[in-house]
Amino acid sequence: MGRSRRRHRQVISDGNGNGDGNGHADVHAQGDGALTLAPVPETFAPQYRPVPDGRPAVLAPVLALDGLDPWTEIAGPALALEDPCAADSIAAGCCDPAQLELRPEAGADLEVVQAQDVAVIAARAARADGSAAAEPADPVEIERTAPEAAAAQAAPAESAGAAPSQPEMAAPEAVQVPVPPPPPPPSPPDPVEVLYADAKAATQSGQSATAKTLYRQLLALAPTHVRARNNLALLLDAEGSHEAALSELDRALETEPEDSTLLVNRGALLGAMGRFAAAERDLKKVLRVEPDHAEALFNLGVVMSRKGLWGEAAPHLKRAIELEPDRPAAYYHLGEALNHVDDLAGALKAYQRAAELQPENPRALYGLGVVYDRLARPDDAAQMYRRARQVGRR
């Protein structure tokens, strides 16, 4: 700024309208007292606008530079400081910007600064080592005298004593939430039920020999397993072992003597074996308890038909059809019973329905042929006989 001040000189009027004698500008007073500048005709002299009324003029001439091109001077180096640095100013103590520390060059108390640095370094070392000792006081606190330190310690005690004592609040008791016991471990599967499921699966897949073996293994573990004995009896009856099947049903009924399924199965087996009285006894026992037991009604109608009691068989078979209208065997046996009691129209309907539900039943087709013969329809009868022979050969 000193160099700039030297380069720009302010023109001060001497009261006569003349400049400072350097020939830069003249000041003229107008009638209203305002001053205007008369620019010196130079190359870089600006043209000024008239000063508005009521606003003083500002003396800001642009002076010519001594022997320098103005643009060269503008592009020159930055302005330097005119005044030298004071003796007690702060200067950089090192050249590394990351470790820049400011220290007084002269006239400072170096001993105080060193003491503060030592205290700060010691505090940092204590924190880094994880020491349990109390952190040293701030470096400023080190300069306190003993009386000042004692007074500083006594001040908090006095303030604490002045405050009224408050009763201590009792800590709330912890509420213990009961932890539910862990769930019991899953029990291992029952081997009996596993064998039963495997035996049923083998039966459904047509492996009757495997199923019988599994049922026997199950009954060795659980002799009173009624379902296993019943299913084993059905497998034995299907292969023609009627006596063995009857034995299994007898043992099952020893465990469950009133079980309707066991009684119906044994009554049907006894009727197939020609033991009609015993079969009729078991089936009627079920019907006394369950009059609408469709399976018992059907098997009792079959037993009566085999006994030749066609008139007694027809009502049981009709009731069984009412309860289960899609049973082809019931229609066939009803057709047989009605044919024998000379109800040809009823027999014809029963045989036709049986053939519709089971087209591959040769006995139903043959029964139709018999009824057509009795109705004097030989052509229809011959056709039914022919179809029965064709189905029977398959």
Structural domain span for residue 13: 1-78
Residue where one domain finishes, among candidates 54, 78, 102: 78
The pLDDT of residue 176 is 74
* Single residue among 209, 225, 257 that ends a domain in this structure: 257
Q: Are residues 292 and 357 in the same domain?
A: yes
Whole-prediction pTM: 0.54
Long-range contacts of 222-228 (CB under 8 A, 24+ apart): 222/192, 224/255, 225/192, 225/196, 226/252, 226/255, 226/256, 226/259, 226/262, 227/196, 228/196, 228/199
* Interval 34-65: pLDDT, tens: 444 445 454 445 555 565 666 555 555 555 55
Residues 249 and 333 in one domain: no
Give me the phi and psi of 279, to 5 degrees please: -65, -45
Q: For the residues 268-284, what does the mean pLDDT come to?
A: 96
Residue 313 shares a structural domain with residue 237? no
Whether 74 and 8 map to the same domain: the answer is yes
pLDDT, mean of residues 339-361: 95
Q: Is residue 162 helix, strand or coil? A: helix
Read off the pLDDT of each residue in 178-194 and give the average, rounded to a whole number.
Answer: 85
Q: DSSP secondary-structure letter at 103?
A: E
3-36 pLDDT tens trace: 444 444 444 344 444 444 444 444 444 444 444 4
CATH (domain of 247): 1.25.40.10
Question: Mean pLDDT over residues 328-348, rounded?
Answer: 96
Q: Is the dihedral of CA 258, 261, 262, 265 positive or negative?
A: positive
User: What's the DSSP call for residue 183?
Assistant: P
Q: What's the confidence (pLDDT) of residue 190? A: 87
- Tell me, rounded to whole angstroms, the distance of Cα 169 from its chain centroid: 45
306 and 382 housed in the same domain: yes
Residue type, 64: A
What is the chain's length? 394
Q: Are residues 323 and 363 in the same domain?
A: yes
Within a domain: 161: no
> Which H, E and C letters describe 320-362, residue by residue?
HHHHCCCCHHHHHHHHHHHHHCCCHHHHHHHHHHHHHHCCCCH
231/323 same-domain check: no
User: Count of alpha carbons within 13 Å of 206, Cβ hemisphere only?
Assistant: 0
Percent of the chain residues topping a pLDDT of 90: 50
My answer on whether 295 and 383 are in the same domain is yes
190/74: higher pLDDT: 190
The verdict on residue 182 lying in a domain is no
Reply yes or no on whether the pLDDT at 283 is more than 60: yes
Q: Say which residue, 148 or 366, is predicted with more confidence.
A: 366
Q: Which of residues 344 and 10 earns the better pLDDT score? A: 344
Q: What angle do CA 153, 158, 160 make, to 5 degrees?
A: 100
Give kind and range of the element (H or E) at residue 234: helix 226-238
Q: How many domains does the chain have?
A: 3
Q: What is the chain's mean pLDDT, rounded?
A: 75
**Residue where a domain terminates, one of 197, 230, 257:** 257
